[in-house]
């Protein structure tokens, strides 16, 4: 794994890369939680691809948040990123907010997205199955674990979201930065773009919609909606998994992405 900073249209962006440079490139767009440290699921993807995992503007040590006011700004940012990497097209995997960005990117520039994987993606309004408010509970880490993990008492859940009073200061700082950056594009309306539903038909790339069966934050109904609205999309449900398949079903997540994108 290599970590460096790159200039993307005047923004200093943290970028992690891993895998064989001769392998097909894969762009991973992280969630609003900001999984911007190299983790086992990154290794799993880098085993088959030349993985690129940038931190969005304002997350971690990435700058440029002053240039971001909307989800469209982030879509244009990643078009600039693709250009800067010299790719004609690239496969894109996005989790939660990252999936929303990937969908917006593929709607606007379908020819630049080779294959698209949306993992428990935000972005849509679904009647009767609203996304739950996560930021109302920033100090209630027990409630956050219940929303995000199928088993909120698991060692993994408590490691990633420890009790607020026991959380390391660095973890809280990164969390506050992530919340501030995400709020600029997702506060009102809450993690959705009312126009996105009517644009998803423009996506031309083969699309896999990957969803945790027990996602309490963004219910499975959102995954079904994405699969119905994107031409030819396929929905794959991960049993016994919540909002974060990268942690709760790492092997199944990496296998699904690899089989689909290879």
Confidence of residue 159 (pLDDT cuts 50, 70, 90): confident
Q: With 70 as the cut, is the pLDDT of residue 183 above it?
A: yes
pLDDT tens digits, one per residue of 13-37: 999 999 999 999 999 999 999 899 9
CATH of 2-261, one of 3.30.460.10, 3.40.640.10, 3.40.50.1220, 3.40.50.1820: 3.40.50.1820
Q: What is the mean pLDDT of residues 208-230?
A: 98
Helix residue ranges, H only, the chain:
40-46, 71-85, 97-108, 141-148, 155-160, 169-186, 220-229, 245-248, 250-261
pLDDT computed for residue 138 by the predictor? 62
Mean pLDDT of the chain: 95
pLDDT computed for residue 171 by the predictor? 76
Q: What is the mean pLDDT of residues 218-224?
A: 98
Query: Using CA atoms, how far apart are residues 14 and 36, in angstroms rounded to an integer?
Result: 9
Q: What is the mean pLDDT of residues 52-77?
A: 97
Q: With 90 as the cut, is the pLDDT of residue 227 above it?
A: yes
Residue carrying structure tokens 């040590």: 61
pLDDT computed for residue 172 by the predictor? 75
* CA distances in angstroms from 176 to 7, 158, 172, 179, listed in the order given: 24, 18, 6, 5
pLDDT computed for residue 87 by the predictor? 98
Supply 42's token pair.
């990154």
pLDDT computed for residue 43 by the predictor? 98
Q: With 80 as the cut, is the pLDDT of residue 206 above it?
A: yes
In terms of Cα–Cα distance, which of 94, 111, 117, 119 is closest to 204?
111
Query: Using CA atoms, how far apart are residues 229 and 41, in angstroms rounded to an integer?
Result: 28
pLDDT computed for residue 126 by the predictor? 98
28 phi, psi to nearest 5 deg: -105, 125
pLDDT computed for residue 124 by the predictor? 98
Query: Using CA atoms, how far apart are residues 215 and 231, in angstroms rounded to an integer?
Result: 24
pLDDT tens digits, one per residue of 116-141: 999 999 999 999 999 998 876 566 78
147 in Cβ contact with 132 (< 8 Å): yes
Query: Using CA atoms, how far apart are residues 100 and 119, in angstroms rounded to an integer?
Result: 9
More confident residue, 196 or 178: 196
pLDDT computed for residue 164 by the predictor? 76
């Amino acid at each position: 794994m290599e970590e460096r900073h790159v200039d993307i249209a005047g923004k200093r962006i943290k970028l992690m890369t891993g895998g064989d440079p001769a392998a097909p490139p894969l762009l991973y767009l992280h969630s609003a939680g900001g999984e911007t440290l190299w983790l086992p699921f990154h290794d799993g993807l880098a085993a088959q691809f030349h993985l690129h995992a940038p931190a969005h503007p304002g997350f971690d040590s990435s700058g440029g948040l002053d240039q971001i006011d909307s989800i469209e700004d982030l879509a244009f940012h990643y078009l600039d990123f693709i250009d800067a990497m010299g790719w004609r097209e690239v496969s894109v995997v996005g989790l939660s907010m990252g999936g929303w960005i990937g969908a917006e990117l593929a709607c606007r520039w379908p020819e630049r997205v080779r294959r698209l994987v949306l993992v428990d993606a935000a972005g849509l309004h679904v009647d009767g199955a609203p996304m739950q408010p996560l930021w109302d509970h920033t100090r209630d880490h027990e409630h956050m674990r219940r929303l995000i993990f199928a088993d909120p008492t698991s060692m993994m859940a408590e490691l990633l979201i420890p009790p607020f009073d026991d959380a390391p200061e660095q973890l809280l700082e990164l969390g506050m930065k992530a919340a501030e950056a995400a709020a600029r594009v997702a506060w009102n309306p809450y993690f959705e773009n009312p126009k996105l539903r009517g644009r998803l038909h423009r996506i031309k790339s083969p699309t896999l919609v990957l969803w945790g069966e027990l996602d309490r934050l963004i219910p499975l109904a959102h995954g079904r909606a994405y699969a119905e609205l994107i031409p030819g999309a396929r929905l794959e449900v991960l049993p016994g998994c919540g909002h974060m398949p990268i942690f709760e079903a790492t092997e199944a997540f990496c296998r699904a992405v690899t089989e689909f994108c290879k």
